[in-house]
Amino acid sequence: MLIHLRNDGLWRYRGVVDYSPSGDVWLHCPGQSVPLTRTGDVFSFALFPDGSRLAVVRHLHRIPDSNAPALLDEIDVATGQVLRTEQLPARLYGYQVVSTCGTVLLLGYHAKPIIPGKKAPPLETDVTDLLTGEQTENANFNSIRCTADRSVVLRKIGAPWAIFGSLVIGATGDNTLAPDKVGDFGVSPNGKYVVFTTGDQVCIVQPAASSNAPRCVDRFWDRGGLDVSDDGEAWLTGDSQIGGCPGIRDTHLTTWTCDAIFSWNPTESAPRLIAFGYVDPYGVSLGLGQRLLALANNWKRN
């Protein structure tokens, strides 16, 4: 089962900046989908490890250079009610929440002002662990993914605007899995598989294998947001190469191509399109998915 964002099929700028209206978080089960939020302005979401809470970042104004504030909501999965709301300090490049490393991390992106004629300043990342409250300012990475026990730690570094960077493994970053052009990435819960995208490719690699050269498939135009299962199956956000979105309401920009979720098993020659108009898939177990579905169907909506 998958949790994902539905954004009405409008194009999104890859990376931490998003030019399109945001959407809502949905749980997708075979034969049924239910919304987990109804505000229409969710930019990023993450499920807490025990499945009890859902963290969402809501961007109330979508223009990237507005330096506008964002809201962090924590939602009680049992009732659907918001437990707390925090107004986050303005960050030029916004925020993301990520369920990884056995916790939920809030990543805030900012940079020093651009000086005309000078090289663009590097992106700076502030990290807050929403379980422990631990904070790290100006972390030495633009994004991070790791297993719950942190035996496998992946960081993306060196990307001035958080679109592309090098993917390194380990606390010291001595081992570079992929240089320079990594967009999004993820690691399976057991740490066996790493999947990453490069703009026009999707690749998989086993870090512990004696020969850890990645296997890549060409002609996949990613739009950020992926997840990986213990058997190496990946769920990806990609460009469907189809104008508009079949079956999805378009509000404007109908000639732009549609975001979609794809599934890719490393034995397959290419990713398979499984849903139009959805982005940022996050896989959950059948048991957890069924529990979330039952709870969400009983939520009282205002």
Q: What does the block give as tokens for 149?
A: 């026990």
* The predicted structure's pLDDT at residue 160: 46
**276-290 pLDDT, tens digit each:** 878 889 999 889 998
Is there a contact between 285 and 267 (Cβ–Cβ < 8 Å)? no
pLDDT, the chain, mean: 81
Higher pLDDT, 194 or 170: 194
* The predicted structure's pLDDT at residue 248: 56
* The predicted structure's pLDDT at residue 123: 72
**47-100 pLDDT, tens digit each:** 999 999 999 998 765 444 445 678 999 999 999 999 999 998 877 677 889 999
Distance CA 259, CA 18 (A): 13
Distance CA 193, CA 163 (A): 22
Is the pLDDT at 294 greater than 60? The verdict is yes
CATH number of 2-298: 2.120.10.30
* The predicted structure's pLDDT at residue 101: 95
* The predicted structure's pLDDT at residue 4: 83
**89-132 pLDDT, tens digit each:** 877 677 889 999 999 999 988 777 777 887 766 678 889 999 99
In terms of Cβ atoms closer than 10 Å to its own Cβ (0-12, 13-18, 19+), residue 175 is exposed
Distance CA 284, CA 291 (A): 11
**200-214 pLDDT, tens digit each:** 889 999 988 767 788
The distance from CA 4 to its chain's CA centroid, rounded to whole angstroms, is: 9
* The predicted structure's pLDDT at residue 21: 46
* The predicted structure's pLDDT at residue 95: 86
User: What single string gives the DSSP state of each residue in 41-72?
Assistant: -EEEEEE-TTSSEEEEEEES---GGG---EEE
Is the pLDDT at 137 greater than 60? The verdict is yes
Q: In which band, very low, low, confident or very high, does the pLDDT at 144 lie, cut at 50, 70 and 90?
A: very high
Q: In which band, very low, low, confident or very high, does the pLDDT at 15 lie, cut at 50, 70 and 90?
A: very low
What are the sequence ranges of the domains in the chain? 2-298
Residue range 220-232: average pLDDT? 88
* The predicted structure's pLDDT at residue 190: 94
Q: Give the residue from 54, 35, 31 showing the smallest Cα distance to 44.
A: 54
Higher pLDDT, 288 or 223: 288
Q: In which band, very low, low, confident or very high, does the pLDDT at 272 lie, cut at 50, 70 and 90?
A: very high
Q: In which band, very low, low, confident or very high, does the pLDDT at 42 lie, cut at 50, 70 and 90?
A: confident
* The predicted structure's pLDDT at residue 257: 65
Our CA angle for 118, 120, 122, nearest 5°, is 135
Is the pLDDT at 16 greater than 60? The verdict is no
* The predicted structure's pLDDT at residue 154: 92
Residues in the chain, overall count? 302
